[in-house]
Structure 1
């Protein structure tokens, strides 16, 4: 029996996130998980509504009691009920170490065999020794993430699988030149416009402040550049007619903005677990300028149309990288190669195989 545990809604249509990917898996194979525990009101028969509650206090004397009887109560109650009629259970916890800790504490109290699996979506993972030994498997997005986690943990006993990440090739793919120009015109841009994309939320770790400063450096030099900011909902602190704030858009709208564009800046200033939006841009054939924090280097290793920025906190480093990118004579992106680049089907196969292993 397999149980999926999530502190966010599953199924979900959230763009560029693991729960969207899991939702596609469930849609493709609704019987893979016997139960889905999440704060979702889905009509799926396998769905059991469970909500992770906020801490009342962080007093260490009450930590364990709060964790079991308040914060993770719904999930633990559901697992206890399921276990009564099961011989063995595989529990997959999606990227929530608190819920993983709570379930680890319950594991030895159940009458059936329990395999605890933690699917991690960051880069470096520090696993507390108090319950780390009760995690049977950990899934990483990159091998670099696993190796850095191995280095920072005094004891690291779980079996490890590197399952990567995946983007749907039927949504994210490059257009032929004439199709691209036609779509670009239809979206209000001129044939001579060169479109530069930045896509993330506005957290400082994503580097929007760096991107807006490099816009000020590039716009006067290259008057045909137009800069698209996707994902940021707040007002931009810049007054430049070359900047277009697209805001938050749906999964069905995003591909066309990438398909009409030419360059993608991935100005991440933290150790990325993977960089899903980076892969979405690459699969649409864009030329990329990226920092190489976290697992990014491993993600882009099979893509040639890219410039790496080793000092991402320096605006001038990004400007110089863009100028270098414009001078380089890259081979045209090959649709068949991009289709296989971190595609969803490969991820689903690795993810499901690792659970079953």
Structure 2
């Protein structure tokens, strides 16, 4: 039976917020684990039901990495030392194209061992990473690429002339026991707690980077508040030294506290200005009953079922379209009934992960 090794550039468990690290945390805390070993730098604590192969990160390895200009050398050496050349392995790599390149270079001179490995690459972006001809070595070297959406696969399929590896799709999944719809009475109590009982609350939650669209929404807000006084925008993840009417900046909020903010708010704004891979905050808001307005870019339309689960802004770089979408919501919000969503849960993600692993086991065994 092949062993499954997850190679992680972050120590797991990872103490900071991250979409894929959170999903793996849910996975390793479940009762349905098909991964045998985590190869990573030493974490502060270990998951109890998985083996670890620790990658050294001491002064010696740091000096070697700098002198040799081989950033991933310690990972390669740890992996090669760990595996038995008489056994077969499934290797999972997440978003680390540099590590794949280092493995490729290593196996150019050690081809025999490569036959014992099945390499799965999990890509949490959306658009193709390499140029058409630059990609040949990568897709010939890995065995399978796992994407977040079918739309991303279509983008890859249409872009690359040669695509010799297999593909799978694994949607992100959240903990629906935390991110869920509350009763109307509970929502009223939450609004009273935060002093917004007579207001319609809009929520934006992300890192404060230009591609996340906060500046666009703040500009739209100036136009909206000239006509609407009973609305408030909550901004989570950004803390700007400005005071704006009807805008409340919360800065960074611990992940454990996020559900309350989604459950208090009425409408979630997802104005990304890039080809988003999936959008964890979008599905968190969706599960909490928010009316969702999102950019029709990247994997977002697929996540919102092409508009069935939310409003898609076709031209998200035009501020007028956001103003129109928000005003449309304000006109009909009294008749809007939040949908209970049974998609994109951690249980479905765990099930999907194990199906992908089981398929690989069949192929390599």
User: Is TM (by shorter chain) over 0.5?
Assistant: yes
Structure 2 distance, partners of 1:327, 1:4, is 49
Corresponding position of 2:234? 228
Deviation track 1:31-89 (CA, whole Å, cap 9, x = no partner) reads 632221223423346223336979989xxxx9xx74xxx21111111111122265101
Which one is further off, 105-114 or 121-130?
A: 105-114
> TM-score normalized by structure 2?
0.87
Secondary structure at the counterpart of residue 211 of structure 2: helix
Q: Which one of the candidate residues 193, 206, 221 is aligned to 1:215?
A: 221
Q: Which one of the candidate residues 172, 182, 190 is aligned to 1:165?
A: 172
Residue pairs, 1:338-357, within 5 angstroms: 338=341, 340-357=342-359
Corresponding position of 2:5? 3
Q: Which one of the candidate residues 119, 122, 125 is aligned to 1:119?
A: 122
C-alpha RMSD of matched pairs (Å): 2.4
Give structure 2 stretches of 5+ with no counterpart. 360-365
Structure 2 distance, partners of 1:310, 1:53, is 47
Which one is further off, 79-88 or 129-138?
A: 79-88
Residue pairs, 1:244-283, within 5 angstroms: 244-283=248-287
Question: Given that residues 278 and 299 in structure 2 are in contact (C-alpha distance below 8 angstroms), is that contact kept between their aligned partners in structure 1?
Answer: yes
Aligned residues: 342
Residue pairs, 1:44-63, within 5 angstroms: 44=47, 46-50=51-55
Q: Which one of the candidate residues 137, 141, 162 is aligned to 1:155?
A: 162
Structure 2 distance, partners of 1:122, 1:345, is 22
Corresponding position of 1:320? 324
1:326 to partner: Cα distance = 2.2
Deviation track 1:277-322 (CA, whole Å, cap 9, x = no partner) reads 1111111011111111101110001764522111111111100111
Distance 1:78 1:267, change over 3 A: same
Distance 1:91 1:76, change over 3 A: same
Corresponding position of 1:37? 39
Secondary structure at the counterpart of residue 179 of structure 1: helix
> TM-score normalized by structure 1?
0.88
Q: Which one of the candidate residues 283, 291, 307 is aligned to 2:311?
A: 307
Question: Given that residues 26 and 346 in structure 2 are in contact (C-alpha distance below 8 angstroms), is that contact kept between their aligned partners in structure 1?
Answer: no
Structure 1 distance, partners of 2:270, 2:195, is 23
Give structure 1 stretches of 5+ with no counterpart. none
